[in-house]
Chain A
Amino acid sequence: MTGQIMSPVTLIPYDSMGSVMPVAHVVLNTPTGIVLVCNVPVAANNKVMDHAALGSPVRLKRSLTGRLEIIGLDKRAPGTLYNYTMAISTGILTSGNVSALSGRALTYGELASGTSAGYGDTPYGAMGVFNGSSTLLMLV
């Protein structure tokens, strides 16, 4: 399974003892569409992930119970998903929504308008996950 990380690899507490674990948000191309999975753990001792910046394609392993794990870098990333419907009796196509998640730093305009508190609430350099080029989904 391949994906694309949408946040820097960061350490977060992962159990009640306060153990920390490197994690990253990952975008996947699933049968239900392009989805974002937050805080996916990075496989132990995976030094190569130290170089994985925002947007890097990654390879993932899914356990039998559905938990994901980043096991390394990859070369291909989920891209744009185009949805269409077709009337079988007429062959007429209808375009649906287009889905493409990407991660980048917020622009000055987005820093001012991206949060309800206005400019100054979000620090310069903050990263966000966007659907398409401009719809901010979340800050990372």
Chain B
Amino acid sequence: MRQLPDLLSAIMTSPQRQPRYQVVLYDILSSGAPTITQVVNGSAVSAFQLDVTAFVHGGVTVDEPGDRRASHVTFSLSDHLGSFDPVSGTYATFMQENQLAHIKVGDASVSTSDYVGVFFGHVRGQVGFSIDRQSLRRETSVSLYGRRATPRYLKRRFTSRTYDAAVDFGTILLDIVRTEMSLGGDELDRWPALLGMVTQFSVNSIVDLTPLEAIDKVLEALGITSDFDGDGKLKTYIRDMRRGYDRRYANLNLIGSVEIPQADTETYNSVKIIGLDKQITQLDQAEEALARATIPVGFWRPSHEVDVWWSNDRSLRAHNTIMVIETSVNDALIVSLGTEEYEETSPYGGRITVGIANFLLTLIAAIVVVMVASFFVPDIAPPFGGPNILVGSILQSIALQLILMTLAIQSSGVYEIRGTAILPVFKEISAVLTIEGTPDYLLNQKEIKNDWINSQEHLLDIAMIELLFEAAQGKPRDVTVVDDYSLEIGDIVQIPLGTNPLRIWIDSLRRTLTRDEVPMLQLSGYVVPEGAF
């Protein structure tokens, strides 16, 4: 619901109304012309604007269809000089495609500065022009569409930058509306800076969506929708019907008519919301060989450490890892004194340590002892002559041979690390909410996928918003009220009709602005289910 200036707000319920409107065209295409932002800010140079209110013939029809569609306006301009001839008229520049129009409403009793906009948009296509020689009238018919129809917002796809975890959704949306929609200043007066909900994953980006698709997908996770107001400002409205009314009519004095229209639209009686679990699931794979290593050891390298990884890029994680010794270093030795150890150093890899150092030290120490001892064993001279018996020399040679053999010791082991690889996957979480008592054969389900919804509670909340919204669509109402300029799409009005007050969520608005007639507003909407309040 829009905040009106005090004076204008007081007039909305007054029986004394002198409705006025103002149609101002802006030249935004010529050299030196103001930007759209300047027009919204009210700082556009007057030379580029033209008030054509006096030339409007037959009123202005402003149609706000809602449901993420652009507003539409049609009107005719008439004079006897052909000033609005789009080819040769004095104001032909303003009749060009994509020029801007701002339509405001107010009252004769308030200043025009207190008027509020009901439409802000661009000329669509070629304006019509006809000359009636009999009545000496030259009439230009104009069709305009609101800012939501801007091609850049509606059609041009973009890729956002990447956001970390714990970034407020509002920050992301502000980036999009500033960079991809080039909105700023007063255009964002009604746009929330923060939304109180943050990203759950460490990498978040939006790829290949149009700006409006992107912001509405994010906003969907909060039960709200984007829209442009009648002054060209980006805003949001709430789809959630679980709230109070915005405008209550105490009696029927300001109500023109209430109609229950015939409607054969099929409504949904069940909604399924699919989101992404904020906890990334660590999926255990079947046990497999994660790494293999062949490790040599020897006298000159008695201990060998080898780091092994579960994948070449060191990104695969695993747990419950074990080492399988396919060939042991001990197989090549006389006795098994080598050590073969494995340690899981991180989820991404481990370390295999193979050593025969202890064995070699023991061996060398023993040989040295034998060698030294052998020096004390002399060769023996035979008592009856002849060559010496080389007992000492033989012992020394044996000890020397043992040392040489020790120096030549080498071996190698072959090892395999087996374990359970962990596969991180996104797990979808889904909530199905169905209207109680719906027979299975009548189930009509609407499915919404939204990766910005990351928990069961959040899923359920959005499912309730959407189911109430869908259930309400089965009860459309058309109501005509004396125009209240503060009413907008998404507002809830309460009307004292029947035994219980009727609450209607406004889905679309339509008004025809004429001079000195009671301004009537046709609002179409849905009856808010009682379960919502």
Binding site for B on A (CB under 8 A): 2, 8, 29, 31, 33, 53-57, 75-94, 96, 104
Q: Is the CB of B286 within 8 A of A86?
A: no
Q: How far is the CB of B447 from chain A (nearest CB, A)?
A: 7
* 25 A–B contacts from the bound complex (CB under 8 Å): A8-B286, A31-B272, A31-B445, A31-B447, A53-B421, A55-B423, A75-B425, A75-B426, A77-B427, A78-B427, A79-B281, A80-B430, A82-B431, A84-B432, A85-B435, A86-B434, A86-B436, A86-B467, A87-B436, A90-B531, A91-B529, A91-B531, A92-B531, A93-B433, A104-B284
Say whether A82 contacts B283, CB under 8 Å: no
Q: B518-533 toward A: CB 8 Å interface, digit per residue (1/0)?
A: 0000000000011110
B460 at the interface (CB under 8 A from A): yes
Identify the B interface with A (CB < 8 A). Answer: 242, 272, 274, 276-277, 281, 283-286, 288, 421, 423, 425-438, 445, 447, 456, 459-460, 463-464, 467-468, 471, 529-532
Give the residue of A76, A82, A84, A90 whose beta carbon is less than 8 angstroms from that of B425: A76
Report the minimum CB–CB distance from B199 to chain A (whole Å).
17
Which B residues are in CB contact (< 8 Å) with A56?
Answer: 283, 285, 423, 425
Q: Classify the interface of chain B: helix, strand, loop or mixed.
A: strand
Q: How far is the CB of A131 from chain B (nearest CB, A)?
A: 15
A76, A83, A84: the one contacting B427 at CB < 8 Å is: A76
A84-B531 in contact given A31-B447, A77-B426 (Cβ < 8 Å): no
Q: A8-B286, A77-B281, A92-B531 are in contact. Are A86 and B433 (CB under 8 A)?
A: yes
Decide: A53 near B431, CB < 8 A? Known: A75-B426, A82-B460, A88-B471: no
Pairwise interchain contact B467-A80, C-beta atoms closer than 8 A = no
Given contacts A53-B286, A88-B529, A92-B531, contact A79 B277 (CB under 8 A): yes
* CA gap between A87 and B471 in the complex, in Å: 11
Partner of B284, one of A2, A55, A93: A55
In the complex the two chains form, what is the Cα distance from A48 to B429 in whole Å? Answer: 26
Contact A88 B425 (CB under 8 A): no
Q: Could you say which of A29, A81, A87, A96 contacts B531, with CB atoms under 8 Å apart?
A: A87
Give the distance to chain A from B257, nearest Cβ to Cβ, in Å: 27
A99 to B15, CA, bound (A): 60
7 closest pairs, A vs B, by CB?
A91-B531, A79-B427, A53-B285, A76-B426, A81-B430, A85-B436, A87-B436
CB proximity of B452 to chain A, nearest CB, Å: 14
Residues of chain A with a CB closer than 8 A to B428's CB: 2, 29, 76-79
- Which residues of B sit under 8 angstroms from A104, Cβ to Cβ? 284
For the complex, what is the distance from the CA of A81 to the CA of B281, rounded to whole Å? 15
User: How many angstroms from the CA of A93 to the CA of B464 in the assembled complex?
Assistant: 9
Asked if residues A94 and B436 are in contact (CB atoms below 8 Å), the reply is yes
Please, which residue of chain A has its CB at the minimum distance from the CB of B269? A88
Residue of B nearest to A78 (CB): B428
Complex: A2 Cα to B276 Cα, angstroms: 13
CB-CB under 8 A for A54 and B286, given A77-B426, A84-B434, A88-B529:
yes
Q: Known interface pairs A89-B531, A92-B531. Does A84 touch B460 (Cβ–Cβ under 8 Å)?
A: yes
Q: How far is the CA of A55 from the CA of B281 in the complex (A)?
A: 11
Q: B459, A85: Cβ atoms under 8 Å?
A: no
Bound together, the chains give a CA A123 to CA B288 distance in angstroms of 19
Residues of A within 8 A of B281 (CB): 77, 79
The CA of A84 and the CA of B270, in the complex, are separated in Å by: 10
Interface centre among B277, B285, B436 (most CB of A within 10 A): B436
B325 CB to nearest A CB, Å: 22
B451 to chain A: closest residue by CB? A76
Taking a contact as CB atoms closer than 8 A, the residue among B272, B274, B423, B531 that contacts A88 in the complex is: B531
Complex formed: what's the CA distance from A53 to B460 in Å? Answer: 32
Q: For residue B456, which residue of chain A has the nearest CB?
A: A82
Most buried by B among A33, A79, A81: A79
Which B residues lie within 8 Å of A88 (CB)? 435-436, 467-468, 471, 529-531
Contact partner of B431 (CB less than 8 A), chosen from A33, A57, A84, is: A84
Residues A55 and B429 in contact, CB atoms below 8 Å apart:
no
In this complex, the member of A31, A33, A81, A88 whose beta carbon has the largest number of chain B beta carbons within 10 angstroms is A88
Bound form: Cα–Cα A82–B284 in Å: 24
| Contact (A84, B433) CB under 8 Å given A77-B428, A91-B532 | yes
Known A80-B430, A81-B430, A82-B456; 16 more pairs at CB < 8 Å: A29-B430, A31-B272, A53-B423, A56-B425, A75-B426, A77-B426, A78-B427, A83-B434, A84-B433, A86-B435, A86-B436, A87-B531, A88-B471, A90-B530, A90-B531, A91-B529
Contact of A85 among B423, B426, B433 (CB under 8 A): B433
Chain B residues whose CB sits within 8 angstroms of the CB of A31 once the complex forms: 272, 445, 447
In the bound assembly, the distance between CA atoms of A102 and B445 in angstroms comes to 25
Instruction: Write out the residue numbers on chain A whose beta carbons fall within 8 Å of the beta carbon of B421.
Output: 53
A89→B434 CA distance, assembly (Å)? 13
A83 surroundings in chain B (CB, below 8 A): 431-432, 434
Determine whether the beta carbon of B430 is less than 8 Å from that of A89: no
Q: Are A79 and B430 in contact (CB under 8 A)?
A: yes
Identify the closest chain A residue to B272 (Cβ).
Answer: A31
User: Which of B281, B288, B429, B432 is the most central at the interface, judged by chain A CB atoms within 10 Å of its CB?
Assistant: B432
> Within the complex, which residue of B274, B286, B445, B460 is in contact with A29, where a contact is CB–CB below 8 Å?
B274
Q: Which residue of chain A lies nearest to B474 when distances are taken between CB atoms in the complex? A: A88
| Most chain B CB inside 10 Å of its own CB: which residue of A57, A76, A86, A90 | A86
Cβ distance A92 to chain B, nearest Cβ, rounded Å? 7
Give CA–CA (A86, B421) in the complex, Å.
Answer: 42
- Nearest chain B CB to A96 CB, angstrom units: 8
Residue of B nearest to A82 (CB): B431
Task: Judge whether B445 and A55 touch: CB under 8 Å.
Answer: no
How far is A80 from B436 in the complex, measured between Cα atoms in Å? Answer: 21
Chain B positions within 8 Å of A96 at CB level:
432
- A79-B464 Cα distance, complex, nearest whole Å: 20
A80 touches B429 (CB 8 A): yes
CB proximity of B280 to chain A, nearest CB, Å: 10
Given the complex of chains A and B, what is the CA–CA distance between A87 and B436 in angstroms? 5
